[in-house]
Amino acid sequence: MKKEALIPEIAVITDIRIDTPDVRTFRVVTPDGKKPFEHIPGQCAMLSIPGVGEALFSITSSPTNTEYMEFSIKKCGCVTNFLHAVEPGQYVTVRGPYGNGFPVDTAFRNKDMLFIAGGIGLAPLRSVINYCRHHRKDYGKIDIVYGSRSMQDLVDYKEIIDEWCHEDGIHVHLTIDREQPEWKGHVGFVPNFVKELQFDTNKTAVLCGPPIMIKFTLAGLQELGFKKYQIYTTLEMKMKCGIGKCGRCNLGDKFICKDGPVFRFDQLEELPDEY
Amino acid sequence: MKKIQLSLLPKLLSAIAAKKALYLPVDGKAGADYKRYEEGDTLSRACRTNRSAKDFFFPQVEDMAAFRVEGKKIEIIDTRKENEDFVIFGVRACDVRSFDILDRVFLADPVDTFYENRRQHATVVSLACDAPEETCFCRQFDILAEDPAGDVAAWIVGDEMYFKAKTEKGKKLLSSLDVLLADGDSAPVEKEKKHLEAIQHKLPISEFNKEHFKPEDLMEHFNDPAWAELSEACLGCGTCTFVCPTCQCFDIRDFKTNDGVLRYRCWDSCMYSDFTKMAAENPRHTQLERFRQRFMHKLVYYPANNDGIYGCVGCGRCLAKCPISMNIVKVVKKIGGKKA
Amino acid sequence: MQKMMQDRARELLSSGKVDRVLGWIEGDFVYDVTPHVFRENDIDQLIYHSFASQNLSKYLVGETKKDGVIAVFLRPCDSYSFVQLLKEHRFDREKVYAIAIPCLGKVDAEDLRAMGIRGITGVTDGKERIILHTLYGDVEKEKSEVIAERCRKCRGVHAPYFDERLGEELTKEPLTDRFEMVEKLEKMTAEERFAFWQDELSRCIRCNACRNVCPACTCEKCVFDNAASGIENKAPASSFEEQNFHIIRAFHVAGRCTDCGQCSRVCPQGIPLHLLNRKFIKDINSCYGEYRAGADLEEKAPLNRFDVDDCEPGDVVGKGE
Amino acid sequence: MQVNEEKFEPTIVAFCCNWCSYAGADLSGTNRLQYPANVKIIRVPCSCRVNPMFILRAFQRGADGVILCGCHPGDCHYTTGNYFTRRRMTLLFSMLEFLGIEKERTRLEWVSAAEGAKFAATMNDFVATVTKLGKNRRLEDLRCKK
Amino acid sequence: MQRIGVFVCWCGSNIAATVDVKAVAEALGKEPGVVYFEDYQYMCSEEGQTKLQNAIRDYKLTGAVVCSCSPRMHEATFRKAAAKAGVNSFMVEIANIREQCSWIHKNKEEATEKAIILGRAAIAKVHLNAPLTAGESPVTKRALVIGGGIAGIQTALDIADAGFEVDIVEKKPTIGGKMSQIDKTFPTLDCAACILTPKMVEVAQNEKIRIFSYSEVDKVQGFVGNFSVSIRRKARFVDEVKCTGCGLCTEKCPQKKVPNEFNLGLDQRRAIYIPFAQAVPKVATIDPDYCTMLKTGKCGVCSKICTAGAIDYKQKDSFIEEKYGAIVVATGFNPIELNKYDEFAYSQSPDVITSLEFERITNAAGPTGGTLLRPSDGEHPKKIVFVQCVGSREDGSGCGKTYCSKICCMYTAKHAMLTREKYPDTEVYVFYIDVRTPGKSFDEFYRRAVEEYGVHYIKGMVGKVIPQGKKLMVRASDLIDRKQLLIDADLVVLAAAIEPDKSARPLATMLTASMDTNDFFTEAHPKLRPVESPTAGIFLSGCCQGPKDIPETVSQASACAAKVIGLLCRDKLTGNPCVAHSDELMCNGCSTCEKVCPYGAITYQDKEFRMPDRTMRTRRVASVNPAVCQGCGACTVACPSGAMDLHGFSNSQIMAEVDAICK
């Protein structure tokens, strides 16, 4: 019988990195040690633990990584709680990739990129940022604005400091919500920080973070002169199938799992705001 | 065109059942419902079964896979089996159309193999409606109850039943029953069709403004203030979605058996409060939004994605079954009516 | 009656005594009745006749969360649900103006269809007789022939605690003994009973209509929707799940069920769910003394009290055969 | 529990209240009073802790009989718990019987901490009764069967 | 995911002889989450406990399952050991493979299999266990005693002697209770006043004790260790501090016709009065129902003659708010009303009296100065009939009680004996159903009445008493001689049943303490905790719990005091953490749980909640006071929404055990 999209494959968690008190990054490979499948930045996969549940996560690793797949996961529900309690060697099931992904080879090509993330919102962006880094010549300048509640809540802090910050043409702007003694950088909320940074408007912006941050950052960017068609985001919603059949993740006539999760704000404007 | 004396219908049914699994609507305690044919069962003449015929291809509960869990290890067991060949006999035009609507979801890439498997093994024998209920309105969706689609279409004219194969599968079925069937003239059927069509025109639910539901008016309909009033009395049960032949939302769940995990899918309803509920957020947190979703899906979203075909077949089940008598007709009249 | 109700509602609305009125509105067909919250502009559309079947009391749980006072019409059976909800603090009494109205028994379109009465376009109610206007002419029937099962046991008496009464109280003798069917089942053998219930419950599609319409089922979150409860379940995935849902649901409303019969009315599969509730009512009455949920605000429910010399399960179970 | 074709071995779940019946069960052990190994005891603080859900769950998962033991009426450690239990179980068992489930599969017994012998005798009797009835088929969940 | 260690105990050969402990350990080692397993000869030994502790440290265990003897034996042992090694005690579960497995099964294979299943169930439970910490609450080191009879007095004295403050609330103007009305006590026949009044004085003089006489408990809030009580001090119109108790006012008051309740209305007192000479506090009280000044504003005699200036006609009820750690109920008893016993002509003839009235008549301080005289004409009665079990041991259909009042047999014997001793020419008949004399020297006492004093004990019931002239014709049956009797008595004394004081029922409601159908307070356990109410912090002293004689009352009072002292000695109360808790988001506020809670541990409050649609809503939700909840779980089943659950025995834990067993 032919392959059924809803029946997953087996995979193994080989490494667990503790990013923040409530975010861990899981490295996942097939039992024979290969990357489960190919994907494009911004796409998602369904992870499940039989008996616990199945949930959709964005793939955090870049497609340029050929050995494994990574997922940065924040503890918030049933499946994530379980994942946060497991140890390396734990089997999971995986299926995907799902969604449209970022237009890295079309709309983003040769553009100056501005990535803005808040908290766990960096997870889906990390894939595209690293993709851009690995295909550096295909993209213009890269600015990354990333903020979180505190220094401890910055996901991938080590990679950001050790790698991203040292690369040419990449500017990383970090911020945290409240003063901390050991923090020397900027303090303040992401939307305000974006306005302060006064980016020029010839960039393509990608936003990801909590709804409230998205709302104000979008307004901020528009104030700076950005047009809605220049701004992308990626959405999250409850999903069961991932292939546009189970009927719950639609925004109007668009399914987030199939037609999204990446949308431009001018597209979203024409859809009901049920997200 | 083939025909058979109605008195010989039991013979025909047994002949079909001898070769393939046969399902047909049978009158029961509380109305008609499909059941697997057993000797002695008679075809119900009711124009509507309680449950729709979607169950044949998209059953309420369906096992998808099993898992064996031992320590940290997981093993997947593909429990799928090739479906048996079966015939559904006496499907009304509205339900036949619903198969088409479901096909566009489940057979779209990536194909749902569970659905496809059943669909491939089924032969649908449809039956023209001779006594529609006053709650029927399939004609409003351009469905011809007097000339239903399907692999074989059937008509009851007087004391004879006529059959016409409409697909290869249908031809095969009819030819396998050749011994019992006589050749029939199409004239009585054509006459009957005219008669049946005339009945259709007398049905009370007309003046339907479905053409006002254009995909380009999506936001306008979405923001219609009338949704609040329409959804006010909605109990949030799943009756309308479960009796609906085109509702296809499902949930995937795990059941812990004594030695592993069974993953199954079951019908879900967009009317349920936890349908879109996530750990922290719920994008449709009131019944208004859930109610709106159901009707917007049938009248706007589905057509937008499927060449303008509406996700309703006018079978009238929701009219008959809703505990508070709120239904798509009231919605269409209220929301679509404003544009007229 | 309908006219009286409209007039009174209009009066209450215009006097500012209430802000909204909860009643029934008609759709395309006379039996196509929906509960509706009326305001002054649409109060003319309020209807009341043999097809106004829904129990309105449960809507108060949601309606009293809004601002303002809502008037509600309570038929005798609804009035018990009303009191039971009040007893369980499920709505704010201050925000409700309860009007007791008489009821001559309701008629279900599905029942009529089964009797061969189709194409109904209108109804004329009488005390003893009912005239149904249909596409195929008028049909006149004795009320006792056509009224719904849930109405046959009615005595027409309201529970107290309403604010005013419209019309007179129409007390009547019940047409049937409500425990007749329960007793009939009790007299069967276990095998027969099992077969009966298998046949009924296997039709269940778990649409939750029975639960969602039930005035006793007003949980913030039902155990069957709550993953943490351990018995969460969305579909009758096995015969056990069919039984489990209905047993637990009946148990949860035991001693709280007012026998309004809405569960059986709304079941799209025609399952006589009220028999489960009535079995509990019958057992409660015979073991712990007559008790009517919703008749009294203070009286402790049978499962919340006890007697030191209560009967043992063995004294009750097995009596039927 | 392995199901033997020749001899049917029922699975029995016994809910025992911590203060009387569980102690009674302990006493029957201390006195070396035998009862079949089919009986597995679950300790609950009071018989009134036993939710009808638990009993149905046991049947779903493959129990053939469920017995609930508590302090004698009037002796409840929590003074009134077993009175509530008695009412609840009377109604529940009656309902199960109403649905055609064999009434012998459910039982409520009062066993005090001193009644080790009664505990053993009750269990012997219950196991024998359920064995005679055979496998629970009316309240089973086939998905749970191997 | 838990990291669980499994420890299988051999218990010497107790377990190992019938259960293959190695096989059990290995089988359980394969269960999910089990990272360590071992078997050992005696897990409860020092060595065994060390093994558990080492494994916890070495394998970073988060939970443990010990397959051993009954948890009733060593659950505490292993939990303590685990806690010492840093794992919360409630993460340890016991699989009882001795009492409930090895000791009852002979077949090793069968027993081993069962042991594995029991182990699995325990593991399944541990997976869902959560560390529990017992809540702590402070203890107010003061006790309240409600009722100032001998029970209350004794309890108060004992508590005060241990160094704690005690307040006594007495609704009458003086403490002393029923014992102060009694003449002699059985079986020793010593004078009640002689032994009681020193105790009353002791109470008055004890610095730790405050007496709120003529006062009632008005409101009770809080829970064990932390009650706050409002006490109503009824206006007595006399300043307690200024009054010297000289008694002059009680002699000069012109209103003389007030029935004297201390003498049960057998004589009269003034409107301002001191109940009896040894009253404590010895302070006068004005009876507002009779005082002319208070009723008409014209009189004021007492005020004029009071040199201390203690009279205050304007006094009003006042309230005292006080905090207590424990509350003792000592509300006592009363004889039942006999108005309905027309067959005994109680209401018809003044010469049909109750036993308590008889006490007053024979008491030297009573209305007759201690001489036995008939109330009607003041003559010496020559023939007295005592009727026992009046209103006791009835079938429940009449106006009497179903229980035995316990003390009547003895005091009737006492009355009969004393009468015969003082007035040997008096004929005394006692009608009885049974004579019950279980008690030290009781039967001897009764036999003396019959044998030495010649009291006529007749088994049988009196059918009717008919007043006829100066005589009372007593018609009765003699069950032993099988004949009807007709006695022309001069005095009939009815041994009326005793019942709890009427104030007990409303008090029980305030205290959320449970009562039986007779309005006696119920004990936390009828055998093992007889002086405590099921409601924590409420203690029972004396007849409020059931009929008792004086020695029994006093011993219970002291026992009760011991329990109170035990409570007050503690600085903090550590609760049982296995208590109920409600998930407020799911709670319907329906009050069902509250109705089945035997401890009154559940209250309701209106709380603001943020709803999913981001609006705020006020909802009525249940909250459990963990200091009061005892963890029975009745509420968890009563709750239809499943909002109420029990720590340590949660729905999911029990269901996990069920699943594991039925696998």
CATH number for the domain formed by residue range(s) E4-128: 3.40.50
Query: Are C233 and C189 found together in one domain?
Result: yes
Residues in A touching E1 (Cβ below 8 Å): 82, 85-87
Instruction: Note whether E662 contacts B: Cβ–Cβ < 8 A.
Output: yes
Instruction: Note whether B219 contacts A: Cβ–Cβ < 8 A.
Output: yes
As its CATH architecture, domain E235-316 has 2-Layer Sandwich (3.30)
Using 50, 70 and 90 to split pLDDT, how confident is the model at C320? very low
The domains of chain A, with CATH numbers, are 9-98 (2.40.30.10), 112-234 (3.40.50.80)
Residues in B touching A92 (Cβ below 8 Å): 74
The mean pLDDT of chain E is 93
pLDDT of residue E56: 95
* CATH for E580-647, options being 3.40.190.10, 3.40.50.10300, 2.60.40.10, 3.30.70.3270: 3.30.70.3270
Which of E118, E90, E221, E225 lies closest to E646, judged by CA? E90
Strand, helix or coil at E183? coil
- Asked if D26 and E659 come within 8 Å (Cβ–Cβ), the reply is no
Using 50, 70 and 90 to split pLDDT, how confident is the model at B338? low
Q: Which residues of E308-325 are buried (b: 16+ CB within 10 A; e: fewer)?
A: eebbebebeeeeeebebb
Q: Please tell me the distance in Å from B253's CA to the nearest CA on chain E.
A: 19
Residues in B touching E32 (Cβ below 8 Å): 69, 71
Residues in D touching C311 (Cβ below 8 Å): 90
- Helix or strand holding residue C145 (H, E): helix C143-146
Q: Please tell me the distance in Å from E592's CA to the nearest CA on chain C.
A: 7
Using 50, 70 and 90 to split pLDDT, how confident is the model at E655? very high
Q: What percent of chain D has pLDDT over 70?
A: 95
Mutation pick from A73, A246, A270 vs chain B, by most beta carbons of B within 10 Å, is: A246
* Cβ neighbours, 10 Å, residue B42: 12
Name the residue with tokens 């909640």: E609
Residues in E touching A87 (Cβ below 8 Å): 1
Stretch among D6-20, D126-140, E11-25, E525-539 having the lowest mean pLDDT: E525-539
Query: Are C172 and C190 found together in one domain?
Result: no
Residues in B touching D145 (Cβ below 8 Å): 258
Instruction: Give yes or no for residue B179 having a pLDDT over 60.
Output: yes
Q: Nearest by CB to C219, from E596, E641, E652: name it.
A: E641
Strands E142-146 and E326-329: parallel
Mind giving me the DSSP string for E453-513?
Answer: T--EEEES-EEEEEEETTEEEEEEEETTTTEEEEEEESEEEEEE-EEE-TTHHHHHHHHT-
The two tokens of residue B41 are 């069962």
Strand partners, C293: none
* Contact criterion met (CB below 8 Å) for B91 and B126: yes
Query: pLDDT digit string (tens) for E490-519?
Result: 999 999 999 999 999 889 888 878 778 789
Whole-model pTM: value is 0.83
Instruction: Give yes or no for residue A158 having a pLDDT over 90.
Output: no
Instruction: Note whether E1 contacts A: Cβ–Cβ < 8 A.
Output: yes
Distance CA A73, CA E206 (A): 69
- Asked if D79 and E514 come within 8 Å (Cβ–Cβ), the reply is yes
- Asked if B265 and A6 come within 8 Å (Cβ–Cβ), the reply is yes
Query: pLDDT digit string (tens) for E338-354?
Result: 988 889 999 999 999 99
Q: Which residues of E415-452 are buried (b: 16+ CB within 10 A; e: fewer)?
A: bbbbbbeebeebbbbbbbeebbbebeebbebbeebbee
Instruction: Note whether A16 contacts B: Cβ–Cβ < 8 A.
Output: no
Query: pLDDT digit string (tens) for C69-115?
Result: 999 999 999 999 999 999 999 999 999 999 999 998 899 988 888 88
Which of D31, B163, D89, D47 lies closest to C251, judged by CA? D89
Instruction: Give yes or no for residue D3 having a pLDDT over 70.
Output: no
Task: Give the range of the structural domain holding residue C217, as residue numbers without chain letter.
Answer: 177-321
Backbone φ and ψ for A175, nearest 5 degrees, come out as -150, 155
Instruction: Give yes or no for residue B337 having a pLDDT over 70.
Output: no
- Asked if B285 and E612 come within 8 Å (Cβ–Cβ), the reply is yes
Three-state SS string over E82-93 comes to HHHCCCCHHHEE
Distance CA E492, CA E508 (A): 36
Strand partners, E496: E390
| Chain C, nearest residue to B233 by Cα | C35
Instruction: Note whether B309 contacts A: Cβ–Cβ < 8 A.
Output: no
Query: Are C245 and C106 found together in one domain?
Result: no
Query: pLDDT digit string (tens) for C244-299?
Result: 999 999 999 999 999 999 999 999 999 999 999 999 999 999 999 999 999 999 88
Instruction: Give yes or no for residue D113 having a pLDDT over 50.
Output: yes
Q: Which of residues 17-56 of E touch B (CB under 8 A)?
A: 30, 32
Using 50, 70 and 90 to split pLDDT, how confident is the model at A224? confident
Q: What percent of chain E has pLDDT over 90?
A: 84
User: Tell me, what amino acid is at C71?
Assistant: A
Chains D and B touch (3+ CB pairs under 8 A): yes
Strand, helix or coil at C275? helix
Task: Measure the CA dihedral D106/D110/D111/D112, to 10°.
Answer: 160
Residues in E touching A50 (Cβ below 8 Å): none
User: Number of B:E CB contacts under 8 A?
Assistant: 14
The two tokens of residue E649 are 């025995």
Distance CA E600, CA C261 (A): 35
| Chain C, nearest residue to D87 by Cα | C303
Strands E538-540 and E326-329: parallel
- Asked if E659 and B282 come within 8 Å (Cβ–Cβ), the reply is no
Distance CA C294, CA C298 (A): 10
Name the residue with tokens 């060593």: E74
DSSP structure class, residue E102: I
Q: Nearest by CB to B50, from C119, C225, C268: name it.
A: C268
Class of domain E333-499: alpha beta
- Asked if E642 and C89 come within 8 Å (Cβ–Cβ), the reply is no
* Contact criterion met (CB below 8 Å) for E552 and E151: no
Query: Are C14 and C88 found together in one domain?
Result: yes
- When pLDDT is averaged across residues E556-567 and rounded to a whole number, the result is 96
Q: Please tell me the distance in Å from C268's CA to the nearest CA on chain E.
A: 25
Instruction: Note whether B267 contacts A: Cβ–Cβ < 8 A.
Output: no
Compute the radius of gyration of chain B from its Cα atoms.
22
Angle in degrees, 0-180, between the axes of helices C274-288 and D81-98, rounded to the nearest 10: 130
ipTM of the complex: 0.92
Query: Are C156 and C191 found together in one domain?
Result: no
B62 contact partners, CB below 8 Å, separation of at least 6: B114, B264, B265, B266
Domain borders along chain D are 12-144
Q: Nearest by CB to D62, from B255, B258, B262: name it.
A: B258
Using 50, 70 and 90 to split pLDDT, how confident is the model at C319? low
- Asked if A250 and B300 come within 8 Å (Cβ–Cβ), the reply is no
Residues in B touching A57 (Cβ below 8 Å): none
* Contact criterion met (CB below 8 Å) for E99 and D22: no
- When pLDDT is averaged across residues E106-121 and rounded to a whole number, the result is 95
pLDDT of residue E607: 92
Distance CA C249, CA C208 (A): 11
CATH number for the domain formed by residue range(s) D12-144: 3.40.50
Stretch among C10-19, C138-147, E13-22 having the lowest mean pLDDT: C138-147
A175-179, E164-168, E534-538: range with highest mean pLDDT? E164-168
- When pLDDT is averaged across residues A37-54 and rounded to a whole number, the result is 91
How many domains is chain C partitioned into structurally?
2
Residues in D touching C199 (Cβ below 8 Å): none
The subunits that touch chain E, with at least 3 C-beta pairs less than 8 Å apart, are A, B, C, D
Strand, helix or coil at E374? coil
Residues in A touching B110 (Cβ below 8 Å): 5, 243
Query: Are C146 and C220 found together in one domain?
Result: no
Distance CA E50, CA D36 (A): 35
Query: Are C321 and C185 found together in one domain?
Result: yes
B25 contact partners, CB below 8 Å, separation of at least 6: B32, B33, B34, B35, B43, B44, B46, B49, B90
Instruction: Note whether C2 contacts B: Cβ–Cβ < 8 A.
Output: no
Mutation pick from C269, C273, C274 vs chain B, by most beta carbons of B within 10 Å, is: C269
Query: pLDDT digit string (tens) for E547-557?
Result: 999 999 999 99
The mean pLDDT of chain A is 88
Indicate the residue among C156, C176, C196 that finishes a domain.
C176
CB under 8 A, 24+ apart: contacts of B141-144: B141/B97, B141/B210, B141/B310, B141/B312, B141/B313, B141/B314, B143/B93, B143/B94, B143/B97, B143/B313, B143/B314, B144/B93, B144/B197
Indicate the residue among C176, C205, C221 that finishes a domain.
C176
Give E367: exposed, middle or buried? Use CB within 10 Å, 0-12, 13-18, 19+. Answer: buried
Instruction: Give yes or no for residue E369 having a pLDDT over 70.
Output: yes
Instruction: Note whether E369 contacts B: Cβ–Cβ < 8 A.
Output: no
DSSP structure class, residue E529: B
Strand, helix or coil at E69? coil
- When pLDDT is averaged across residues E52-76 and rounded to a whole number, the result is 94
Indicate the residue among C145, C176, C207 that finishes a domain.
C176
Residues in D touching C239 (Cβ below 8 Å): 140-142
Query: Are C161 and C227 found together in one domain?
Result: no
Domain borders along chain E are 4-128, 235-316, 333-499, 580-647
Chains D and A touch (3+ CB pairs under 8 A): no
- Asked if B285 and E613 come within 8 Å (Cβ–Cβ), the reply is yes
Residues in D touching B258 (Cβ below 8 Å): 61-62, 144-146
Instruction: Give yes or no for residue E167 having a pLDDT over 90.
Output: yes
Instruction: Give yes or no for residue D1 having a pLDDT over 60.
Output: no
Angle in degrees, 0-180, between the axes of helices E408-422 and E355-362, rounded to the nearest 10: 30
- When pLDDT is averaged across residues E424-453 and rounded to a whole number, the result is 94
